[in-house]
Amino acid sequence: MALREIDHLSDEMADCVDNCFEAAQACEWCADECAGEGEEMAKCLRLCRDVADLATLHARFMVRNSNYSEELAEACAGACEECAEECSRHDAEHCQVCADVLEECAESCRTMIAS
């Protein structure tokens, strides 16, 4: 089923759902890679796992038309921004890719809130 077929999802919400799931995937990949890179990557790993959980939960709440979607969007955007900042400090490809995806997700969450 395409997200565009769900009546209560605006275009902004559908984009946000897509971006949240992409962010969760990027964060799981990044966290897994960070796990093998030593203690200096611990903060990145923890933030990525937090974002993966928040982004997935937020997407699920949007799809089921939850009353808490806006609050989760704000939390997700903030976590994405913090994690993107941490990831961007590292030269590893997985961190750079993750930072880019997270910036897009944060922007999408904020756009959804504003709409």
Tens digits of residue pLDDT in 18-75: 999 999 999 999 999 999 888 889 999 999 999 999 999 999 999 999 999 889 999 9
- pLDDT (0 to 100) of residue 19: 96
**Cα separations in angstroms, 70 against 18, 30, 66, 110:** 16, 26, 9, 9
Q: How far is the C-alpha of 5 from the C-alpha of 86, rounded, in Å? A: 36
Q: How far is the C-alpha of 60 from the C-alpha of 79, rounded, in Å? A: 17
- Banded model confidence at residue 11, pLDDT cuts 50, 70, 90: confident
- End-to-end CA distance of the chain: give it in Å, rounded: 24
| Domains defined along the chain, listed by start | 10-114 (1.20.1270.360)
